[in-house]
Amino acid sequence: MIVALACLSALVAAVIQRVTGLAFVLVLIGPVVLVYGPVEGVTLAVLLAVVASVFAVPSAWGDVDWPRTLWLLGAGLVAAPFGVLVTGVLPDAALLFLISGMAIVALLASRLGGVVSATLRGRQGAVLAGAAAGFMHASSGLSGPALAAFAVGDRWEQRRFAASAQIIFLGYGLVSVALRGLPSTAAPEVLLLAACTAGGIIAGSFVVRVVPASVARTVMLWCAWAGALVVLVRAVLALLG
């Protein structure tokens, strides 16, 4: 039953990723951390995000904005080792609080559009946002909020941003997997989760034709808030225990 929950979460997260261009880890992080713990859960989420990006990149390739993508990707790759370092020194309770906090900040990021627009713009904004995104991806898998904030500040056209984000996620993910290592979960279970992720991306390519993006975003937000709150409750329990 627990593994089934993780598989269902990976499937739903992948569908939403394909429809909206974002939020795979944001939707997945709560269930996988609940099932596998903060370190193993994030390691699994980062690996599955790579699988999702690999399947999403072919259809997005033609719309990639390469100049912005390369600046964001380069800055993030430099910052990623520091994110892994943080996960190695924090106790479980602190790491759970960090993960839930990042998820909540991600969900509130859209309200900060006016604040971030003056700073996250142009090449300097890409470097700042990329560094923050790379650190967050390596430590928690949650690089989406910093990238979305830059997209708002730099007035990045949504279709090109969503396509470019797949390349960025793939780059961050590969480096994060190399730094964190592979999950310790049994290989058949990891393969099952990867298959559900790939299936979700494929299914999403059909769903995107019939489901309005606004509906997908609403589902994404409900799933992500539930996941963030579950991790937060677990952090409190770990602290009390």
Q: Give me the pLDDT at residue 113, please.
A: 57
- Nearest one of 196, 29, 12, 197 to 107, comparing CA atoms: 29
CA nearest to 62, candidates 162, 155, 143: 162
Expressed in percent and rounded to 5, the helix, strand and coil fractions of the chain are: 85, 0, 15
DSSP-derived secondary structure for 132-176: HHHHHHHHHS--HHHHHHHHHHTT--HHHHHHHHHHHHHHHHHHH
According to the 3-state scheme, what is the secondary structure of 86-119?
HHHHCCHHHHHHHHHHHHHHHHHHHHHHHHHCCC
- Note whether 44 and 183 are within 8 A (CB): yes
> By the 8 A CB rule, do 166 and 70 touch?
no
Give the Cβ contact number of residue 58 at 10 Å: 9
229: burial class by Cβ within 10 Å (0-12, 13-18, 19+)? middle
Q: Cα–Cα distances in Å, from 155 out to 24, 108, 119?
A: 23, 19, 12
What b/e sequence results for 171-209 when a residue is b if at least 16 CB atoms lie within 10 Å of its CB, and e otherwise?
A: bbbbbbbeebeebebeeeebebbbebbbbbbebbeebbe
What pLDDT shows up at residue 175? 92
Write out the two tokens for 154: 């730099």
- Give, for all 241 residues of the chain, the pLDDT tens digit: 788 889 999 999 998 888 877 778 888 888 898 889 888 998 899 999 999 999 989 888 988 999 999 999 999 999 999 988 888 888 888 888 887 887 777 677 656 656 555 677 888 889 988 998 898 888 888 888 788 878 878 888 877 888 898 899 999 999 989 988 899 999 999 999 999 999 999 998 888 788 786 777 677 677 778 777 877 888 888 888 6
Least Cα distance to 14 among 139, 164, 169 occurs for: 169
- DSSP symbol at 21: S
What integer pLDDT is reported at residue 20 of this predicted model?
78
What six digits make up the tokens of 120?
A: 């996250």
Q: What is the pLDDT of residue 187?
A: 93
